[in-house]
Structure 1
């Protein structure tokens, strides 16, 4: 099976600072990869290169055979196929929940209004927020806003979803409701890359864990292997620090 996403010798600098160093990795269709590691290790930078929110200086990232950072790649077309869920929701405050979800399929894909409204309704049901269709983002809790953001990303029917620390801006009691939606997506076979500090979620949902430090992937392992006997000393230290917390 050809990998769905391939990172090949990917490097990125911010000025003199190397954020990513000759990174290699492969993700299969339907695989859930959780990227973890200490703050500043390059996790968010890596995930943001997949939909070109960050550029790379060296190497290649292939998505379904397409060179993401290639000069001929059409950015808007690429982004319709890669759902991205941010830390801070990024919903349009002046649009209702339903309108937030309908906007991209209507504007970008040209889906007819009644079809897109039906789709938005289905997605709201999927994230457990049918009753909030006509509310505005400011009337929702953080957890509800993030679930709307997930529904909005799903409205484009992307074959892959990226999550960049989707629960880090939430109060602890709201984290579970967002992770439950992500768990359901994983069960449905969605290809997912998640940067998260939620290690119970990683243990339970990931097919593969990538452990990063200082711009490199130091370990790729199953959750079982990663949490019980990681190979790299830096990963062992990370797990030990987690336990002591």
Structure 2
């Protein structure tokens, strides 16, 4: 068995004295793992860094085997990421999110969003939309199309923390202390203030914890809260900066 594809490296771990097991998001193939023989050598150290885009060739005797990766650098990002704390935290968080996906299940929409996040200035609004999409792709998507109580499709301002369904401004009034705020930029294009971003990450974080972190007995990625702090200190979104 053999295939070749372009991939985003999202993780590596040691295997034996000289090798690594690399984890990557491969276009059309999803999250894939493979053994890189000699992966701990100085020659491959710069290539096998999460955040880099590589060409992978995977070989195995049977399809369900771990297999062997041959790796060739296509786009090096690691050095740029290390030089900027915000970019580094963003890359680490995106890679941790992608590692939640089932193995060998294509998620090219998420891969495209991840590459866009890594190749542009850190953008809190884009990251929040990425987290919403991650929930959707894993089967836990929020229903933000209409009010859970009245069925109206306009002036949706909150989300039920239990059902993940939107609630209109009027219907939300008696329950404001129980609902999660729904920033308008998540349902319509527009700028996001620092307060909007904080509300968006509270929303996505609640459902990521409900369906993924707590459900799997894992902690949220350690870079998420520090990154949110950095992103919400900006006075204006990237689209408005000069």
TM-score, reference length from structure 1: 0.26
Larger radius of gyration: 2
* Higher RCO (CA-CA < 8 Å; seq separation 6+): 1
TM-score, reference length from structure 2: 0.26
